[in-house]
């Protein structure tokens, strides 16, 4: 938001880096014969340039994101020609281009040379209308502008006819019309170009309007992107005759064609409507970015973005904050994305308290420059069906310039509403109330205000996707799907704008602001996308896909013990224009063991767009008795039977291939917890085959080195510290001679800060934590109690209990300098070899909300295979977990790691009841079982203590000298949310913070698993043995 040069408009007073480009090309003689005209188009040059051909000056242009076109006929020669361009990094236009992205100058889009006949179609405007109440019919109107060069031989316009044809998607002619010369009317250049010209162009300019009626039209929407093809041809009498003695025959002299989507866009009833139907904007903001080539994006890259957006259920994109490459709009037309097309206008550097002011907008000298930004964009892009609204720009204040832009746009294109946020998002310049980062309550309030004046609310930016973010986004979607005047929004934003770089030691990494010595810079504030620079998705992308799914299911029941015969299932079609006939839904019923009990397909009747179908459970799903029999079959066949819960999972796929996905692509998944009547299915305790239930003794030995060794006949060998700061904690654990723990568990209250944790400067969570010394906590044991039986324990239910109380402070050994946290840690070693660990903490009310409350431990690096039951398979956190389904998952520690460009907290899994670490090459296995109901499980490649020293992910490997030795495991009783309403204020919602001033207690049980042992079987056993007490509950 800061200009990289001193503010002195219109001068950009700074050294002005300049690039000089030269390109030769061969020109056929035919291109400049018979009065043909040749044009050169620069589709994008940042920020301004001069152009020469064969040493002759052609012209100058600025506006880094719109084309500059020159008639170069008079400068060309047959054969070899030289095109030269001098590109300046800065110009007075740079004051209007203060967007927050990489300022990369040069020629970043295509340069095109093309030829036209003497009389040619120079421009055309296509509009469509679907009359309200009509059945299937539609009207296509084409305003065609015909130019003819004024030469010594042509002083009056020539006779020319125009033939217009409309073809459907199968190339069948559906409508046509022909005009003759008398229909073409001379028009003013201002009507063509939108602004008065200082000198008349050397052309006759004529216009004709052609209307084509389609009796039965296929309408364009993002769901049904049907495209017609419009072909326009000029017919000239100047061509050759077939019969030399007969009259001259009219021949085609020029042809233009474009694809046409038939649709209307209107606002009425406080709703944005496409083809009279209100829609929800499932949108995302998109900067043009390539990690290798910066602003020079290829068609393949654009296509990849469009296809990924469609596959993740987005239906709209905002071209933030400038007109995109023209090919991008073709792809949105073809594959179906609504577009908010934004003018290249931002003056954020003129701000007060970081809020942009209309300093330049209110200066009359800048008025035409403002108008040109929106006029040229509209004239370039207006024939695209995908564009449903124009944006006047971003964060440029609201003054005379914006009002002039809005007036021009409304006069020249009344078929689309206007969008403009700056100035309060509710000015007369905008037809849509479009706040950025407004909270849900604010959006609902705006929609209800009298100043709304019938305008819908659509957030131009929301849910800031900076690093591990997008918490609470489900609350926005709860609001959007109320189907009120709040009609969705555009997530900020699509891609992390990192550049592919190589460190001094040869490691590849994503570079961001300041990595090249660039000043000023916004550091990582352009690293805020849903996908990495190479388009690998962040975990939060799955959350948005889930929330925007086109079909949802829910159950109605009077209580948790409702008979299945009284359960109703509701199916909602969230599509606006399509039935669900192209989709197929399959279902499975899963036990909390991960075992599938029943499965099938739903063959539903037609559900029209926007409608709900409800049906009784027994219409498609099994009876309770059938599920009970399935559970018993699992039980008697030694497979794992359900313990306490059942889940219905419904997955919806697209049946046939589309332009953006193959058949079988999943568009929706819903998981519902089913009632478990009669207290569950299990008939009684089952004898464990993989875990012994009885051992005679525990052997205890105290060494001279201040260590306590506890050995179980089951093969578990634990060593505890008896002295020092870690007094009362586990030093190591071995199972039959193989290491399974090399440290911990010990209490942990810190996490490596995320970008959102740092948001808010002095009031940020991170600043408050650091001021409280929470990043420097040291565990000091000040009371150790060891309880031992006087003889070796012989009872199967016997145990050894060891308890220690710790004080945590930021001053090392000085216990008086406390941070206000005390914790009691109790280890109970059972004769079976299992270890129960309980922790009770008290945190002073004076402390800020805690990052986490949990236990941290280390396992050998060889134990890299992890299995758990809880939410997954993707990373999730308490405020971002709606897309994470309960289930049994297996992966590797490496695959759990999420390499956010700025290192921070990652890889969490919520609501975990048990997890197991395994080593693929040995019998070493470790199971951890939570006594609470909703633990968070992050498995880490790197210690959180390395975070402050690493500003890029690849630096963790350099700092972590023990990476090859340990796997860092955190099992959290509670973990603070990640937030994401924005990234510059503390944005974690209160219910997802960990408030201090109260006692919290929880526990886990650690077991050495047999090599072939099933973790869930062990979990069942521990539950029945009473070793997982439900009293240690989650403090949510």
Per the domain annotation, does 684 fall within a domain? no
Confidence of residue 675 (pLDDT cuts 50, 70, 90): confident
Confidence of residue 792 (pLDDT cuts 50, 70, 90): very low
Interacting residues of 276 by C-beta distance below 8 A, sequence separation 6+: 130, 132, 264, 266
Instruction: Return the pLDDT at 958.
Output: 58
CA 396 to chain centroid = 26
Q: Give how many domains the chain has, as a whole number.
A: 5
344 or 724: which carries more pLDDT confidence?
344
Instruction: Return the pLDDT at 398.
Output: 96
Which is nearest to 674 in space by CA: 557, 756, 780? 557
Rounded Cα distance, 718 and 17, in Å = 67
Among 260, 294, 314, the domain boundary falls at: 260
Instruction: Return the pLDDT at 630.
Output: 77
Residues 774 and 923 in one domain: yes
Residues 134 and 247 in one domain: yes
Residues 563 and 450 in one domain: no
Residue 631 has pLDDT above 80, yes or no: no
Residue 690 has pLDDT above 50, yes or no: no
Instruction: Return the pLDDT at 686.
Output: 45
Residues 256 and 313 in one domain: no
CA 373 to chain centroid = 29
Phi, psi (deg, nearest 5) at residue 514 = 95, -15
Instruction: Return the pLDDT at 785.
Output: 60
Residues 737 and 851 in one domain: yes
Residue 303 has pLDDT above 60, yes or no: yes
149 or 341: which carries more pLDDT confidence?
341
3-state secondary structure (DSSP) of residue 188: coil
Locate 47 and state its tokens: 């920020």
802: preceding bond cis by omega (within 30 degrees) = no
Locate 197 and state its tokens: 């010209």
Which is nearest to 222 in space by CA: 305, 287, 279, 286? 279
Find the catalytic residue in 43, 334, 395, 867. 395
Q: What is the mean pLDDT of residues 128-157?
A: 82
Per the domain annotation, does 146 fall within a domain? yes
Q: What is the mean pLDDT of residues 830-844?
A: 90
Instruction: Return the pLDDT at 274.
Output: 97
Per the domain annotation, does 511 fall within a domain? no
Strands 966-975 and 738-741: unpaired
Strands 79-88 and 18-27: antiparallel
Residues 133 and 112 in one domain: no
Task: Find where tokens 């990373």 sit.
Answer: 875
Q: pLDDT exceeding 70 applies to what percent of the chain?
A: 86
Q: Which of 179-188, 232-241, 642-651, 820-829 has the lowest mean pLDDT?
A: 232-241
Residues 403 and 535 in one domain: yes
What is the pLDDT of the chain when averaged over all its residues?
87
Interacting residues of 808 by C-beta distance below 8 A, sequence separation 6+: 747, 749, 777, 778, 779, 780, 818, 819, 821, 822, 823
Among 618, 650, 679, the domain boundary falls at: 679
- Residues 642 and 668 sit within 8 Å (Cβ to Cβ): no
395 counts as catalytic? yes
Confidence of residue 287 (pLDDT cuts 50, 70, 90): very high
Q: Which of 131-140, 605-614, 930-939 has the lowest mean pLDDT?
A: 930-939
Per the domain annotation, does 450 fall within a domain? yes
Rounded Cα distance, 885 and 205, in Å = 63
**DSSP H or E segment with residue 305:** helix 299-311
Q: Say which DSSP state 850 is in.
A: B
Strand order across the 707-712 sheet:
698-702, 707-712, 716-721, 730-735, 738-741
Per the domain annotation, does 895 fall within a domain? yes
Rounded Cα distance, 994 and 990, in Å = 8
Q: Which of 196-205, 455-464, 521-530, 764-773 has the lowest mean pLDDT?
A: 196-205
Q: Which of 342-351, 776-785, 912-921, 1021-1030 has the lowest mean pLDDT?
A: 1021-1030
Q: What is the pLDDT of residues 232-250, one digit of tens each?
A: 999 887 544 444 555 555 6
Phi, psi (deg, nearest 5) at residue 387 = -80, 115
CATH number of the structural domain spanning residue 385: 3.20.20.80
CATH number of the structural domain spanning residue 248: 2.60.40.10
346 counts as catalytic? no
Residues 530 and 409 in one domain: yes
Find the catalytic residue in 43, 342, 421, 461. 461
Beta strands, E only, 557-695 = 568-573, 583-591, 596-602, 612-616, 646-654, 666-674
165 or 560: which carries more pLDDT confidence?
165
Residues 304 and 232 in one domain: no
CATH number of the structural domain spanning residue 816: 2.70.98.10
Q: What is the pLDDT of residues 643-670, one digit of tens each?
A: 567 899 999 999 999 999 999 999 999 9
Instruction: Return the pLDDT at 831.
Output: 83
Interacting residues of 39 by C-beta distance below 8 A, sequence separation 6+: 69, 70, 71, 72, 113, 114, 115, 116
Rounded Cα distance, 794 and 796, in Å = 7
Beta bridge partners of residue 602, listed in sequence order: 585
Q: What is the full DSSP assignment across 953-972?
A: TTHHHHH-TTTTTEEEEEEE
Q: What is the pLDDT of residues 701-728, one digit of tens each?
A: 888 888 989 988 778 899 999 888 888 8
**DSSP H or E segment with residue 476:** helix 473-480
Among 116, 151, 171, the domain boundary falls at: 116
Per the domain annotation, does 1030 fall within a domain? no
Per the domain annotation, does 2 fall within a domain? no
Residues 309 and 297 in one domain: yes
Q: What is the pLDDT of residues 486-510, one digit of tens each?
A: 999 999 999 999 999 999 989 999 9
The runs of H, that is alpha helices, within 173-293 are 189-193
CATH number of the structural domain spanning residue 68: 2.60.120.260
Beta bridge partners of residue 506, listed in sequence order: none
Which domain covers residue 22, as residue numbers? Answer: 18-116
**DSSP H or E segment with residue 501:** strand 499-502
Q: What is the pLDDT of residues 511-530, one digit of tens each?
A: 999 999 998 888 999 999 99
Rounded Cα distance, 877 and 893, in Å = 17
Rounded Cα distance, 264 and 278, in Å = 12
Q: What is the pLDDT of residues 1014-1027, one digit of tens each?
A: 888 788 777 777 76
Per the domain annotation, does 478 fall within a domain? yes
Residue 152 has pLDDT above 60, yes or no: yes
Instruction: Return the pLDDT at 929.
Output: 62
Rounded Cα distance, 147 and 279, in Å = 40
Rounded Cα distance, 381 and 402, in Å = 20
Interacting residues of 379 by C-beta distance below 8 A, sequence separation 6+: 123, 193, 194
Residues 441 and 408 in one domain: yes
**3 state SS for 415-459:** CCCEECCCCCCCCCCCCEECCECCCHHHHHHHHHCHHHCCCCEEE
Q: Which of 20-29, 104-113, 690-699 has the lowest mean pLDDT?
A: 690-699
Instruction: Return the pLDDT at 429.
Output: 97
Q: What is the mean pLDDT of residues 781-793?
A: 53
Interacting residues of 351 by C-beta distance below 8 A, sequence separation 6+: 1, 357
Q: What is the pLDDT of residues 375-415, one digit of tens each?
A: 999 999 999 999 999 999 999 999 999 999 999 999 999 99
Residues 147 and 70 in one domain: no
Residue 196 has pLDDT above 60, yes or no: no
Residue 447 has pLDDT above 70, yes or no: yes
Interacting residues of 855 by C-beta distance below 8 A, sequence separation 6+: 744, 745, 746, 747, 748, 837, 839, 970, 971, 972, 1004
Rounded Cα distance, 340 and 320, in Å = 9
């Amino acid at each position: 938001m800061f200009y990289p040069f001193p503010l002195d408009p219109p001068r950009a007073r700074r050294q002005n880096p300049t690039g000089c480009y030269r390109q030769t090309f061969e020109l056929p003689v035919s291109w400049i014969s018979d009065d043909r005209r040749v044009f050169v188009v620069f589709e994008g040059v940042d920020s301004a340039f001069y152009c020469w051909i064969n040493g002759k000056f052609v012209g100058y242009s600025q506006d880094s994101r719109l084309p500059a076109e020159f008639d170069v006929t008079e400068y060309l020669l047959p054969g070899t020609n030289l095109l030269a361009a001098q590109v300046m990094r800065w110009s007075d236009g740079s004051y209007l281009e203060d967007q927050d992205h990489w300022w990369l100058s040069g020629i970043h889009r295509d340069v095109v040379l093309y030829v036209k006949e003497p009389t040619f179609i120079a421009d055309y405007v296509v509009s469509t209308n679907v009359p309200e109440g009509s059945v299937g019919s539609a009207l296509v109107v084409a305003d065609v502008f015909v130019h003819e060069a004024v030469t010594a031989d042509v002083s009056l316009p020539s006779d020319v006819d125009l033939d217009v044809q409309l073809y459907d998607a199968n190339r069948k002619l559906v409508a046509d019309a022909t005009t003759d010369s008398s229909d073409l009317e001379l028009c003013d250049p201002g009507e063509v170009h939108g602004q008065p010209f200082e000198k008349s162009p050397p052309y006759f300019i004529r216009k004709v309007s052609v209307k084509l009626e389609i009796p039965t039209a296929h309408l364009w929407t993002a769901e049904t992107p049907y495209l017609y093809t419009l072909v326009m041809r000029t017919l000239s009498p100047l061509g050759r005759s077939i019969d030399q003695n007969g009259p001259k025959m009219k021949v085609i002299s020029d042809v233009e064609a474009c694809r046409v989507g038939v649709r209307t866009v209107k606002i009425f009833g406080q709703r944005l409507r496409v083809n009279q139907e209100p829609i929800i904007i499932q949108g995302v903001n998109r900067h043009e970015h390539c990690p290798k080539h910066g602003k020079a994006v290829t068609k393949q890259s654009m296509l990849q973005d469009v296809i990924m957006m469609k596959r993740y259920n987005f239906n709209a994109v905002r071209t933030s904050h400038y007109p995109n490459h023209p090919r991008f709009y073709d792809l949105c037309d073809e594959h179906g994305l609504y577009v908010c097309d934004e003018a290249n206008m931002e003056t954020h550097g003129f701000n007060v308290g970081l809020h942009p002011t209309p300093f330049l907008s209110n200066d009359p000298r800048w008025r035409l420059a403002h108008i040109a930004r929106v006029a040229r964009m509209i004239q370039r892009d207006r024939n695209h069906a995908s564009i449903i609204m124009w944006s006047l720009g971003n964060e440029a204040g609201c003054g005379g310039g914006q009002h002039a832009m809005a007036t021009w746009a409304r006069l020249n294109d009344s078929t689309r509403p206007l969008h403009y946020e700056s100035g309060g998002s509710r000015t007369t310049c905008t037809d849509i109330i479009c706040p950025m980062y407004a909270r849900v309550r604010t959006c609902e309030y705006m929609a209800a205000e009298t100043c709304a004046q019938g305008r819908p609310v659509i957030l131009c930016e929301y849910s800031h996707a900076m690093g591990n973010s997008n918490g609470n986004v489900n609350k926005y979607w709860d609001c959007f799907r109320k189907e009120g005047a709040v009609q969705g929004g555009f997530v900020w934003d699509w891609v992390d704008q990192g550049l592919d770089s190589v460190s001094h030691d040869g490691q590849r990494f994503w570079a961001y602001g300041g990595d090249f010595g660039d000043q000023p810079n916004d550091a990582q504030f352009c690293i805020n996308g849903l996908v990495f620079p190479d388009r690998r998705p962040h975990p939060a992308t799955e959350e948005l896909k889930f929330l925007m799914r086109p079909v949802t299911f829910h159950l109605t029941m009077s209580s948790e013990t409702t008979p299945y015969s009284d359960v109703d299932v509701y199916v909602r079609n969230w599509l606006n224009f399509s039935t669900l006939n192209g989709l197929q839904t399959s279902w499975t019923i899963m036990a909390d063991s991960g075992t599938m009990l029943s499965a099938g397909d739903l063959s539903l009747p037609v559900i029209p767009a926007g409608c709900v179908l409800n049906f009784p459970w027994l219409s498609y799903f099994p009876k309770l008795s059938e599920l009970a029999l399935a559970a018993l079959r699992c039980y008697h066949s030694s497979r794992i039977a359900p313990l306490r819960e059942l889940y219905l999972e419904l997955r919806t796929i697209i049946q046939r291939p589309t332009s953006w996905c193959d058949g079988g692509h999943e568009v929706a998944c819903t998981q519902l917890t089913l009632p478990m009547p009669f207290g569950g299915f299990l008939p009684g305790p089952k004898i464990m085959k993989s875990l012994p239930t009885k051992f005679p003794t525990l052997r205890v030995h105290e060494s001279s080195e201040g260590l306590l060794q506890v050995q179980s006949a089951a093969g578990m060998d634990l060593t505890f510290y008896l002295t020092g700061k870690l007094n009362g904690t586990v030093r190591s654990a071995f199972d039959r001679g193989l290491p399974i723990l090399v440290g911990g568990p010990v209490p942990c209250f810190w996490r490596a800060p995320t970008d959102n944790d740092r948001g808010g400067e002095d009031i940020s969570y991170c600043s408050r934590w650091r001021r409280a010394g929470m990043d420097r906590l040291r565990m000091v044991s000040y009371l150790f109690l060891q309880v031992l039986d006087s003889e070796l324990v012989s009872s199967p239910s016997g145990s050894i209990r060891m308890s220690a109380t710790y004080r945590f402070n930021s001053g090392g050994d000085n216990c008086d300098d406390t941070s206000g946290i005390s914790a009691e840690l109790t280890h109970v070693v059972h004769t079976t070899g299992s270890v129960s660990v309980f922790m009770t903490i008290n945190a002073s009310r004076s402390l800020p909300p805690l990052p986490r409350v949990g236990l941290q431990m280390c396992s050998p690096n060889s134990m890299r295979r992890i299995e758990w039951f809880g939410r997954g398979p993707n990373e999730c956190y308490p405020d971002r977990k709606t897309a994470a389904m309960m289930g049994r998952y297996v992966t590797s520690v490496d695959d759990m790691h999420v390499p956010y460009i700025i290192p921070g907290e990652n890889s969490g899994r919520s609501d975990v009841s048990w997890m197991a670490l395994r080593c693929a090459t040995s019998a070493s296995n470790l199971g951890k079982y939570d006594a609470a109901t909703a633990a968070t499980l992050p498995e880490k490649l790197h210690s959180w203590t390395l975070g402050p020293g690493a500003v890029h992910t690849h630096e963790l490997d350099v700092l972590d000298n023990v990476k090859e030795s340990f796997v860092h495991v955190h099992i959290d009783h509670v973990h603070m949310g990640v937030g994401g309403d924005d990234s510059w204020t503390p944005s974690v919602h209160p219910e997802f913070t960990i408030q201090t001033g109260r006692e919290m207690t929880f526990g886990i049980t650690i077991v050495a698993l047999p090599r072939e042992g099933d973790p869930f079987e062990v979990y069942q056993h521990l539950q029945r043995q009473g070793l997982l007490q439900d009293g240690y509950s989650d403090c949510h």
